[in-house]
Chain A
Amino acid sequence: MYTLIIVPLVAALIAFVLPSDRFRPHIVAVTAAIHLVCTFRLRVGDVSEWGWLAVDPLGYLTLGVLSIVFALCSVYAIGYLRVRADRPNRIFTVCLLAFLAMTTGVTLAQHLALLWVAMEGATLSTAMLIYFNRNARSLEAAWKYLMIGSVGIALALLGSLFIGYAAFLGAGGKASLLFQDLLTNSEALSRPWIRAGFVLLLVGYGTKMGLAPLHTWKPDAYGEAPGLIGALLAGGMTNCAFLALLRIFRITVAAGEGAFARELFIVIGLFSMAVAAVFMAGQRDFKRMLAYSSVEHMGILVLGIGVGGLATFGTLLHVVNNAFTKIVLFLSAGNIHRAYGSKRIEVVSGALRRLPISGALFLTGFLAITGSPPFGPFISEFTILNGAIQTGHFISAALFLIFLIVIFIGMGATVLAVVQGVPSEKADTGFRDSFWKTAPMFVSLALVLMMGIWIPRQLYSFIEEAARTLQGAP
């Protein structure tokens, strides 16, 4: 289990020491491959010596998605860094590997403090990734990300301390912050502190997830960072923050404040969807549009957990579907951006003609993420809707549907403007599709399609088990 964290860290060290820019991208790809193999060899129930790291169904689900997302992005990175050979890539690759180590830590951490430390590490390593382009705009994005992110991380720390105090009041000096101990002693936890701590942690980790109203870093960061980083953030980092929220949610439910937590989840989820719908309508910048799409889907995730019942299963399924679809969208958007030298729809048109593969994938990715059959997100969004109706959340279900439709229309207008029409001669950087920069998207799209038609039996029973733990089973 330690290898999963140590390998990327050692690789980061090697990448840092290596003098040449040429081999570093390959180090990232090899590390990603090792990480992927090790992840699939893990068994649920493995526990490290002190019990601070362990593989549980929820964490393993996030880890598996993270590992696949990172592997696909690392293949893309080979092609990407070849195009950007003019820039030194030392810091970029080191930060990528550090990001992998830290996010893996988040998925395995079974201790409230360790979870926070890993989350903080992941945040800091991504700040430098956003700043890769080293211009005024990416600097602004990185600064906003750091400022908003550090407020979020400070809130999460305060919230963790509150939970700690709740445990302290319950158990005195022997209080432990291991999730398992918190769950077993949940009766003794002081409920006012749990409530206050839950709110702080929801806002704190919600900032990392990009839930409205603390999503403001997202359009800037996703807009200015390379498409690859957008994919990693939207498909990896945000899921890790969601996992952190789920862990806190379990404790809050066990402590008897479940109704309170669910209500907050529903409100903040619907609010995020509403904000995304408003800002996606008439969005002129297609990368910022993707950022709002990410805000929307994070909203869907917390909404699904808030609704509960069947929707819990749908939400965990959506974690997988959203991550894979986001890869297709962000990587193809990155290619289109590079080919036109702009991400404004006034300039970009006719992507289907100029970049037949990326353009087509961008369009397909849009159809998938907005919930068109036969892709995975259709199944998971439908399950969440179903769950909302079954548990009697009729207003939430209606709003959910309305937002989905509004977003489909708003996003569709921007996407169609990008892919249709005739490419203008002026905006052309000479960049075209290449193998390394399209292959990962095909794999990802195949996964999204598979999730829509046939969910592997093992994955199915696995998600069911994870959903059961969220429903209050020990």
Chain B
Amino acid sequence: MSRRPWAVGGLLLSALLVCGCSSIGAKPWQRGVLAREDMLISSETLDDAMDDHMYFSKEASSGGRSFAGGGCGCN
């Protein structure tokens, strides 16, 4: 519980950064780096699937970046 404000603060700070930038975005000819696979949000699909299976079975939280799902996790 004591670290919850830390997480909320991080989210708010990031939201402020999003809103505070005067010129956000990139022109089509500026997207060379963004086009790289490692810059794509959640591009590590199988890695994340493996990790999420482990975390789902050992922790009370799941989802966030995706649908959480119910599952069994009886182990």
Task: Answer whether A and B are interacting partners.
Answer: no
Q: Using a CB–CB distance below 8 Å, which chain B residues touch chain A?
A: none
